[in-house]
Amino acid sequence: MQRDLAMLVQRELKDPRLGMVTISGVKVSRDLAFADIYVTFMGIEGEENVKQGLDVLTSAAGFLRSSLAKGLKLRVIPSLRFHYDQTVVDGPRMSALINRALSEDERRSTDGDEVDS
């Protein structure tokens, strides 16, 4: 479903407000009623622009769902709910924090070695 949906978004949605959309994950409920689609936008920054991109995808959800139904052999095609995948933003920030903490620990251990000498 993720691959098919990514191809549909890339090929069929021509809205300039979207930029380049990456579908980073899809979670389907057990009863197949809903599919939570996690997306990122390349070239789009700012909370308002991200919200606008999500609004575009949400308004196209019916079209995407019916297009998926043609390609997937499922008895039920879930309703699509789009969410911004924050991990793309949080990942580099967390890496920077970890690197800073490691540098401080290394500096402290080096300073401690000089005091003991």
pLDDT in tens, 56-88: 999 999 999 999 988 887 788 899 999 999 887
Question: In this structure, is the dihedral angle defined by the CA atoms of residues 64, 48, 26 and 80, taken in order, positive or negative?
Answer: negative
∠ Cα 64 42 4 (to 5°): 30
Choose among 5, 62, 1, 71: nearest CA to 32: 1
Q: How far apart are CA 101 and CA 97, in angstroms?
A: 6
Q: What is the pLDDT of residue 113?
A: 61
As a whole number, the mean pLDDT across the chain is: 87
Residue 112 belongs to what H/E stretch? helix 87-116
pLDDT in tens, 37-56: 999 988 777 888 899 999 99
Q: What is the pLDDT of residue 112?
A: 65
Mean pLDDT of 97-106: 85
